[in-house]
Chain A
Amino acid sequence: MAGDINPTLHTAGLAAAEAAMNRALELAPAGRAALAELEDCVFALHCTAPQLDVFLQPGSGSIRLMGIYDGPVTTSIRGQASDFAELATANDPAAALINGNLELHGDSAPLIELQRTLAHLDVDWEAPLVDALGDVAGHQLATLLKGAFSWGRQASAGLARQLEEFIHEEARLTPPRLELEDFYREVHELQMQVERIELRTARLRKRLHEKADKD
């Protein structure tokens, strides 16, 4: 169930999310075909913070979101919202599941397939634009938007890279990643050395006590 959330609000939220997902799927034929292969699977997502349960059931060409599901589920995962966000955006969902904080029950393969399908949805925005504006204007606008999105993605990646370089190399606000990893390794070695010295000191102290007792 929806934890503390009012059933009307919870159901309304799921209805809106489901409508948005299914609208996107209508424009992504490859994603729709991939989801059809997961038909009959039910994924239970139990979010602990905020408390929220969502059951996700892919069908042929659509996804159904439910707040309550009494039947058997294929895969059940439990964790915080941030853990789910990490999995949803991961390039390698298997690694995210193994290394992340999500608790998983059931079959992980369909879940990984679902994550891959949803994360790589190739939405064709041209179709609705052509429907609304006609062939020529729709195509022109779609090409323009595609170019703008592509430029935006490149610009964003470039900006992120340059910002990282500035922070690390120019402003020296934080150390570079490799330098930081070296530092952590040295700290770890130091910690091991301290532990060894501590144990050796304890052994010597014990010996001294034993010798003093004999004398």
Chain B
Amino acid sequence: MSEKKTTHFGYKEVDKDSKADMVADVFHSVAARYDLMNDLMSAGIHRIWKRFTIELSGVRKGNSVLDIAGGTGDLAAKFSRIVGTEGRVVLADINQSMLEVGRDKLLDTGYQGNIEFVQADAQFLPFPDDSFDCITIAFGLRNVTEKETALRSMLRVLKPGGRLLVLEFSKPENEVLSKAYDAYSFRLLPLMGKLVANDAESYQYLAESIRMHPDQDTLKEMMEDAGFNRVEYHNMTGGIVALHRGVKA
């Protein structure tokens, strides 16, 4: 059987080799206004979702944490304070622009000493086996070309007993909420993108990529297939976002 050579980029079917570049273009375009847009689009609720992720991560002083697709460093900053000087936080992102924005923001606000910045592809993580106590990927997995490869790569670099947390947009539990969310995503979101970031297309991609992302149960199965144990998920804000957690045996 021949391997599938295409993948989706929003609603478009594109060549697998070109998706990473297309996603990179989107994030190069939005990097400078990423934080502002996140606050506007979610009315600040993304901070609550990330806070819940940190609680569920169980990260403590001295732990080593990898934040993949860490973008502008919201999670890495919190983890840096929790792990303290004995711990280690690696902020990884495939996109150079996002990594630069995140690095500048964290260094400018005094986070240094226990944070490293690494430009890395989630599918091919450049770390030794069993390196981290916890890995987080917030709003990043849907942009990865081959999610299964990325999940296996994360499992490899996790220490036994380590936890992976995937925070990602998902499927609303309620039909009415789903319709309202669709209207918001496809009408208001590109408009806000155009007004604030002067880039409607990137936010159109954002809405489409959310719809193409696996729902809660499918992602749970994918994590189990990749080798994670005790996989569970928590729906937040009616399932608009779900937090999946799996443990490496």
> Which A residues form the contact surface with B (CB < 8 A)?
6-8, 11-12, 14-15, 40, 66-71
A7: chain B residues at CB < 8 Å are 52, 234, 236
A-contacting residues, B32-63, CB 8 Å: 45, 47-49, 51-52, 55-56, 58, 60-61
CA distance A8 to B52 in the complex (A): 8
A14: chain B residues at CB < 8 Å are 51
Nearest to B81 among chain A residues (CB) is: A59
Asked if B48 and A8 sit within 8 Å, CB to CB, the answer is yes
Given contacts A67-B55, A68-B55, 6 further A-B contacts (CB under 8 A): A8-B237, A15-B48, A66-B55, A68-B56, A70-B58, A71-B58
> Which B residues form the contact surface with A (CB < 8 A)?
45, 47-49, 51-52, 55-56, 58, 60-61, 234, 236-237
Q: Which of B47, B48, B60, B234 contacts A71 (CB 8 A)?
A: B60
Asked if A69 and B45 sit within 8 Å, CB to CB, the answer is no
For the residues of B in contact with A, the DSSP-based class is: helix
Q: Which of B55, B58, B60 contacts A11 (CB 8 A)?
A: B55
Give the distance to chain B from A55, nearest Cβ to Cβ, in Å: 9
CA distance A6 to B58 in the complex (A): 20
Asked if A15 and B60 sit within 8 Å, CB to CB, the answer is no
Nearest to B243 among chain A residues (CB) is: A7
Interface centre among B49, B55, B58, B234 (most CB of A within 10 A): B55
CA distance A172 to B60 in the complex (A): 60
B236: chain A residues at CB < 8 Å are 6-8
CA distance A70 to B61 in the complex (A): 14
CA distance A40 to B62 in the complex (A): 12
B58: chain A residues at CB < 8 Å are 69-71
CA distance A67 to B51 in the complex (A): 10
Give the distance to chain B from A107, nearest Cβ to Cβ, in Å: 19
B45: chain A residues at CB < 8 Å are 8, 12
Question: Can you show 18 pairs from A to B with CB atoms below 8 A apart?
Answer: A6-B236, A7-B236, A8-B45, A8-B52, A8-B236, A11-B48, A11-B51, A11-B52, A11-B55, A12-B45, A14-B51, A15-B48, A66-B55, A67-B52, A67-B55, A68-B55, A68-B56, A70-B58
CA distance A210 to B55 in the complex (A): 74
B49: chain A residues at CB < 8 Å are 8
A11: chain B residues at CB < 8 Å are 48, 51-52, 55
Give the distance to chain A from B52, nearest Cβ to Cβ, in Å: 5
Give the distance to chain B from A61, nearest Cβ to Cβ, in Å: 11
Nearest to A71 among chain B residues (CB) is: B60
Given the interface pairs A7-B234, A8-B236, A8-B237, the reply to whether A15 lies near B55 with Cβ below 8 Å is no
A70: chain B residues at CB < 8 Å are 58
CA distance A180 to B95 in the complex (A): 76
Give the distance to chain A from B10, nearest Cβ to Cβ, in Å: 27
CA distance A6 to B51 in the complex (A): 14
Nearest to B53 among chain A residues (CB) is: A11
Asked if A15 and B47 sit within 8 Å, CB to CB, the answer is yes
B52: chain A residues at CB < 8 Å are 7-8, 11, 67
